[in-house]
Amino acid sequence: MTLTALPADPLRPLIRRLTGDEKHAPSSYSTLDVLWVLYDKILRITPATAEAPDRDRFLLSKGHGPAAYYAVLAAKGFLPADWLDDLGGWDSPLGHHPDRMLVPGVEVGTGSLGHGLGLAVGTALGLRAQGFLDTRTFVLLGDAELDEGSNHEAIAYAAAIQLPMTAIVIDNRSATHGWPGGIAARFPGWITALVDGRDHDQIEYALSRRYDRPNLVVATVESKG
Amino acid sequence: MREAFIDTTTELLAEDPRTAVVLADISASAFAPAARRHPDRVLNVGIREQLMTGVAGGLALTGLRPYVHSYAPFLIDRAYEQIKLDLGHQDVGAVLVSIGASYDAAAEGYTHQSPGDVELLDTLDGWTVHVPGHRDEVAALLRAAARHDDRVYVRLSEQENTQAYPDAGRLQVIRRGGPLIVAVGPMLDPVLAATRDLDVTVAYTNTPRPLDAEGLRLLSEGELVMVEPYLAGTSARQVAEALSDVPHRALHLGVGRTEIRRYGTWSDHARAHGLDPASLRTRITEFMW
């Protein structure tokens, strides 16, 4: 097992530069290891290829608490690290929810929950229609976000048409009424994997697998609060 | 109008590899032949209108030009936040094409009616709205929308005028006379019938957004009546802004806000909302003279 302490530690000073995010701090950190593995090991995207039509797509549906996202984008050179010093400021491109029109490397602007999965389905379909068959589409959600009914429209449709795409759910047990039967049970027809959301080897193994239908990776982290 | 939409969009699918169609079951059978030819670009997501709009946003993010279609209450009212965020906030476009209008589905009741669709889109930035008054105006509007990536709404209806005016993107004078009456889309024939022997100028447009402010300023002489097939007063702000430095009186006629709990036909509802020729004549005359 590779613990988060080694590769993620360079990110923590970057996250600490982000101010004004105390309210959403737990959700910011819950995504940190998955985001790092995605950008360090999985996604075929760099600042130089951020506009390439065949780049892999990553959509952060869980738009609140984006500190870890910004820190990873800064660490990978998509945005200058000094942008992190004015989170939510008038002159800052970094808000408490990311805006694709302001932040290089951000594929979708999110914040209101339940939008990323539908956008990801459309993105995967658009890439397939244009022949980009090697390009992968990833979307990251929170377990509480699954309460939004719009997600279940996308889950059912992606399964019905066997659309290759990868959804990641960060599970920190924050859904108000929980998920009796487990989160994977909410994704019928999807290939599912459960991983330790702090274990980089497990995350990388699960995310590197490609399938001919949608797949779900549930990444469990410590409980919120 | 619906057939013109299906025929034109089917042609666009064959002509332009950027064209995509996203459906939520409505009209899916009509697009079945096109779906067999273009299975990757004709997508029926089932009865999932939030997803339909989200998918359109995703398609647009990859560079495609999605045409999104359903009944107006499901296309606009139900998926309003997806229109706001999955299209507008992402700064991508789509062509939303509705049928049903304000009360074409009169017998189905209020659940299938959307008199407030244009007003809802008026809360958002950057929407062009077309309300064709005749089936022969539909193809050109859809083809024009294929040539760019902006946000376009095309509102189709069963009610239509006897004559098409294909170049009515700006105000087009149909009859010249005294005070100005602007008829939007299928309101033209009722307005012409209502004012047959009145000294008024009747101007027509099938594109109320952006409203032709220059045309309004040129044609209005202190008094005007707007007659629109959706919520009354929807264009009040646009008219006020266009004539902000000109003293004027304006009457805005359209669909009322009170739900009419009756069935019948669209013409029954037009009469109930005062949009039939006799009612229009009474209201216009009382305002003008």
Contact list, B82 vs chain A (CB under 8 Å): 115, 118, 150
Q: What is the DSSP letter of B199?
A: -
Q: State yes or no: pLDDT of A4 exceeds 80.
A: no
CATH number at residue A85: 3.40.50.970
Q: Are A170 and A143 in contact (CB under 8 A)?
A: yes
Per-residue model confidence (pLDDT) at position A23: 44
Give the position of tokens 């005294």. B178
Query: Percent of chain A having pLDDT more than 70?
Result: 91
Per-residue model confidence (pLDDT) at position B116: 98
Give the A:B interface size as CB pairs under 8 Å.
100
Per-residue model confidence (pLDDT) at position B150: 98
The pLDDT confidence band at residue B64, using thresholds 50, 70 and 90, is very high
Domains of chain B with CATH codes: 2-155 (3.40.50.970), 172-288 (3.40.50.920)
The pLDDT confidence band at residue A31, using thresholds 50, 70 and 90, is very high
The pLDDT confidence band at residue B189, using thresholds 50, 70 and 90, is very high
Of A112, A126, A129, Cβ closest to residue B61 = A126
Residue A158 within any structural domain of the chain:
yes
Residue A111 within any structural domain of the chain:
yes
The Cα of B87 is separated from the nearest Cα of chain A by a number of Å equal to 10
The pLDDT confidence band at residue A26, using thresholds 50, 70 and 90, is low
Q: Cβ–Cβ of A118/B82 closer than 8 Å?
A: yes
Per the structure, the complete domain to which residue A128 belongs is given by: 5-220
Q: State yes or no: pLDDT of A19 exceeds 70.
A: no
Cis check: omega of the bond before B210, within 30 degrees of 0: yes
Per-residue model confidence (pLDDT) at position A1: 46
Within 8 A by CB and 6+ apart from A199, the residues are A1, A2, A3, A33
Of A121, A124, A128, Cβ closest to residue B51 = A121
Summarised one tens digit per residue, pLDDT across range A157-174 is 999 999 999 999 999 999
Q: State yes or no: pLDDT of B211 exceeds 80.
A: yes
Per-residue model confidence (pLDDT) at position A27: 58
Structural domain count, chain A: 1
Residue A32 within any structural domain of the chain:
yes
Residue in chain A closest to B52 (alpha carbons) equals A118
The Cα of B143 is separated from the nearest Cα of chain A by a number of Å equal to 21
Contact list, B39 vs chain A (CB under 8 Å): none
Residue A225 within any structural domain of the chain:
no
Residue in chain A closest to B79 (alpha carbons) equals A150
Residue A16 within any structural domain of the chain:
yes
- Look at residues B265, B256, B247 and name the one whose alpha carbon lies nearest to residue B283: B256
Q: Cβ–Cβ of B54/A121 closer than 8 Å?
A: yes
Per-residue model confidence (pLDDT) at position A64: 84
Per-residue model confidence (pLDDT) at position A11: 82
Q: Which burial class, exposed, middle or buried, applies to A59 when counting CB atoms under 10 A from its CB (0-12, 13-18, 19+)?
A: buried
Summarised one tens digit per residue, pLDDT across range B70-80 is 999 999 999 99
Q: Are B102 and B108 in contact (CB under 8 A)?
A: no
CA distance A25 to A23: 6
Contact list, A124 vs chain B (CB under 8 Å): 58
Average pLDDT, chain A: 91
Per-residue model confidence (pLDDT) at position A29: 84
Within 8 A by CB and 6+ apart from B196, the residues are none
The pLDDT confidence band at residue A22, using thresholds 50, 70 and 90, is very low
Q: Cβ–Cβ of A120/B58 closer than 8 Å?
A: yes
ipTM of the complex: 0.95
Q: Cβ–Cβ of A115/B86 closer than 8 Å?
A: yes
Residue in chain A closest to B56 (alpha carbons) equals A122
B56: its two tokens: 């359109």
Per-residue model confidence (pLDDT) at position A3: 47
How confident is the model over A179-205, as a mean pLDDT? 96
3-state SS of A125-154?
A: HHHHHCCCCCCCEEEEEECHHHHCCHHHHH
Per-residue model confidence (pLDDT) at position A25: 60
Per-residue model confidence (pLDDT) at position B138: 98
Q: Cβ–Cβ of A122/B41 closer than 8 Å?
A: no
The pLDDT confidence band at residue A28, using thresholds 50, 70 and 90, is low
Q: Are B28 and B44 in contact (CB under 8 A)?
A: yes
Q: Cβ–Cβ of A153/B50 closer than 8 Å?
A: yes
